Amino acid sequence: MAKPVILAVDDDPNVLEAVVQDLRRKYGAEYRVLRAGSGQAGLDISRQLQERGDAVALYLSDQRMPGMSGVEFLERAQTLYPEARRALLTAYADTEAAIRAINSARIHYYLTKPWDPPEQQFYPVIDDLLVSWKQGYRPPFEGLKVIGPRWTLMDHQVRDFLSRNQVPYLWLDPERDEQATQLLRKHALDDRKLPVVIFPDGSSMAQPDLHSLAEKVGLRTQAKAEYYDVVVVGAGPAGLGAAVYAASEGLSTLILEPEAPGGQAGSSSRIENYLGFPSGITGADLARRAHTQATRFGAEFLTQRASGLRAEGQYRFIQMADGREVSCRVCLLALGVRYRKLDAPGIESLTGKGVYYGAALVEARSCSDEDVYIVGGANSAGQAAMHFSKFARRVTMLVRGDSLESSMSKYLIDQIAATSNIEVETHTRVVEARGEERLTSLRLETPQGEETREASALFIFIGAAPQTDWLPPAILRDMNGFVLTGPDLRLQGSLPESWKEDRDPFLLETSMSGVFAAGDVRHGSVKRAATAVGEGAIAVQFVHQYLARY
């Protein structure tokens, strides 16, 4: 972004040169110092700066100029840059006129010529004027801009993807922001093909798929090598924990993650029972720190989805969604889980249009002064309720059971009870979501019977569903799709026929030797972030034992 401008105006070339030199000597590193030889020239320069979107911080104008006085110039410049500071340069004889101009033309200050030394007579005044301007100045955002209506699934997916990958962006809703319309017109973009992502170099992508968007914003989508010691599938807490320990212990490590580091925990607004963070930490911040830590040790991250897994001898091959493959000696499945779908009319068609799975923190500020509903009674639902209570008029938690005690940590229960705009309704479920273009109301089944309530946002946190359909039959799972490991592989007292090794599986090893599982995707795991990190770290120890044998 161009530096803010200080514009000096004087018809005397010698005086103007002296003013400019003094300004550049003190402020040239932070500001562009421009000059104009008349009031009209100053206005012309100001209009050109305005067209380019540049900022003017300060006007310094001589009072006695032919054609247009300094006061007149500053009055007219105010219409172009009303927030710029305005100072008048006067001779001693003009001080009374300058004082009157402060009142009539709202000039901020006047300076008498000459000043010497500037360190005492000039710079302190300019410092005060620039500090005053900075306090109210908001520089234009020059990063990514996402233009899309709030109530569309693709717009939500794009914003959620960028947010969770720590990519700064400015979101503009064309239904509410005039700037969105201006940008679409400026870049000759079709307002029927939203969302649109506009990049700092002026290029754009309309209705982008997330893989292409990942490449454009600089996320790695192709592996540097064809072979790794360890490939970790999934970058939730378990995958990140494994990545840190594997890479720090000298194993070449690749992590595949189709969305963003952190997994389900990454969308938590605040985790307060994680060891070492007495004030709590957001899931996104925890994921960012772990990602940085693993990268520092040499782990490589790819924004890719795994779509297949096969074994050939002592090597394991992971196929990715783009058709490429990577090979490794050991594969660790840290796939995590997704929230189960809520089976009720209207839910599917309104997903992304007021109905969301998980915390969807990118929607929080959009829910300002609205009524938000949350389905679920576990920690993730409680954390979301506390976060949304900072923005929403009212947050209502819909719980099918008797209370929160059986499924939520006590510290969250106490916080919810102490928050005035959170209500917990037990024995209540969603029967139907209603709305055409977006969610407008919910039909609920309550202890008092069915009732309909207005609603603009529904966030769903019900149960866990592993994403393991893509795994080969050789990797055994329970009836719900969770991966069986270690002792759990002894079905009816014996190991499965597919197990060909002359040893028992390691504790976290699956029914395919050399493939391990950790975290929420594993059958019998404890669904907590700290436990998942621990399993990821433990899995690396078994990886070393496996590699020592083969």
- For the chain, which domains are there? 5-136 (3.40.50.2300), 144-211 (3.40.30.10), 227-328+465-549 (3.50.50.60), 355-462 (3.50.50.60)
pLDDT of residue 104: 63
Give me the helix-helix angle, 39-52 and 70-80, nearest 10°. Answer: 10
Q: How confident is the model at residue 252 (pLDDT cuts 50, 70, 90)?
A: very high
- Dihedral of CA atoms 93, 97, 99, 102 in degrees, nearest 10, equals -140
Comparison of pLDDT for 464 and 409, the residue scoring more: 409
Cα separation of the two ends of the chain: 56
Per-residue pLDDT tens for 378-407? 998 999 999 999 999 999 999 999 999 988
**DSSP conformational letter for 365:** G
Q: Which range has the top average pLDDT, 51-55, 171-175, 188-192, 474-478?
A: 474-478
State how far the alpha carbon of 416 is from the alpha carbons of 386, 389, 396, 400, 493, in Å. 7, 9, 11, 17, 46
d(CA 201, CA 167): 16
Please write down the HEC assignment for all residues of 467-494: CCCCCCCCCCECCCCCECCHHHHCECCE
34: its two tokens: 């421009």
- Report pTM: 0.76
Q: Helices (DSSP H) in 81-192: which residue ranges?
A: 95-104, 118-121, 123-136, 153-164, 178-186
Please name every residue paired with 306 in a beta bridge, in sequence order, or none if there are none: 320
Q: Do residues 235 and 331 lie in contact, with contact meaning Cβ atoms separated by under 8 Å?
A: no
pLDDT of residue 108: 83
pLDDT of residue 121: 83
477: its two tokens: 């799972």
Write phi, then psi, for 307 (nearest 5 degrees): -125, -5
408: its two tokens: 């939520």
The dihedral region occupied by 202, where left means phi > 0, alpha psi between -120 and 50, and beta the remainder, is left
Q: Do residues 511 and 505 lie in contact, with contact meaning Cβ atoms separated by under 8 Å?
A: yes
pLDDT of 265 over the 90 cut: no
What is residue 106's three-state secondary structure? coil
pLDDT of residue 222: 92
pLDDT of residue 101: 65
C-alpha closest to that of 111 among 63, 143, 45, 66 = 63
Say if strands 449-454 and 441-446 run parallel, antiparallel, or are unpaired.
Answer: antiparallel
H/E element holding 255?
strand 253-256
What is residue 174's three-state secondary structure? coil
pLDDT of residue 93: 53
Cα dihedral sign for 292, 294, 300, 302?
negative
pLDDT of residue 175: 86
**DSSP conformational letter for 171:** E
C-alpha closest to that of 125 among 113, 109, 106 = 109
Q: How confident is the model at residue 425 (pLDDT cuts 50, 70, 90)?
A: very high
pLDDT of 95 over the 70 cut: no
C-alpha closest to that of 236 among 273, 270, 284 = 284
- Dihedral of CA atoms 534, 537, 542, 543 in degrees, nearest 10, equals 150
Please write down the HEC assignment for all residues of 273-341: CCCCCCCCECHHHHHHHHHHHHHHCCCEEECCCEEEEEEECCEEEEEECCCCEEEEEEEEECCCEEECC
Per-residue pLDDT tens for 33-51? 999 999 999 999 999 999 8
Q: Helices (DSSP H) in 389-490: which residue ranges?
A: 410-417
